[in-house]
């Protein structure tokens, strides 16, 4: 999508700090980190959110999660991490291109909301 921030990052039109890339997936550091390690894993196909996944495009979600596992090892998150995907207004989704946050590098609060 031409006006999508993450499509532009994938295309290199907007710079990012890349941590991983393959045929299906692009991953880069969040510009406003909420944890010592905060990485965004996005599919190379414009899918608005988890709510838009179906049997035709779910391979992108699977590939994103495979990438999460690889990146977490690469980043040394052996003590654990959190994977978050915000969907829609109530969850505070601000970029409408599917993305999985990897949050780690310190102990997190027990509450998730």
Q: Which residues contribute to the site for ligand AMP (CB under 6 A)?
A: 5, 14, 16, 28, 30-32, 40, 86, 92-95
Task: Pick one of ligand AMP, Zn ion, none as the site partner of residue 4 (Cβ within 5 to 8 A by kind).
Answer: Zn ion
State yes or no: is 99 an active-site residue: yes
- Find, among 54, 47, 57, the residue nearest to 87 by Cα: 47
Query: Which of 46, 97, 99, 101 is flagged as catalytic?
Result: 99
- Find, among 76, 62, 71, 74, the residue nearest to 101 by Cα: 71
Please say which residue, 31 or 55, places its beta carbon nearer to ligand AMP. Answer: 31
CA quadruple 106, 91, 57, 83: dihedral, nearest 10: 10
From residue 42 to residue 61, the character string flagging contacts with Zn ion as x (rule: CB under 5 A) and all else as - is ----x---------------
CA-CA distance, 34 to 46, in Å (whole number)?
A: 25
State the catalytic residues: 99
């Amino acid at each position: 999508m031409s006006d999508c921030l993450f499509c532009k990052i994938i295309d290199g039109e907007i710079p990012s700090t890349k941590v991983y890339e393959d045929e299906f997936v692009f991953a880069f550091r969040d510009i406003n980190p909420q944890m010592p390690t905060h990485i965004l894993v996005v599919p190379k196909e414009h899918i608005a959110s988890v709510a838009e996944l179906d049997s035709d495009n779910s391979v992108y979600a699977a590939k994103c999660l495979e990438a999460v596992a690889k990146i977490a090892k690469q980043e040394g998150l052996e003590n654990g991490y959190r994977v978050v995907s915000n969907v829609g207004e109530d969850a505070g989704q601000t970029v409408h291109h599917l993305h999985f946050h990897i949050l780690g590098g310190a102990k997190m609060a027990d509450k998730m909301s």
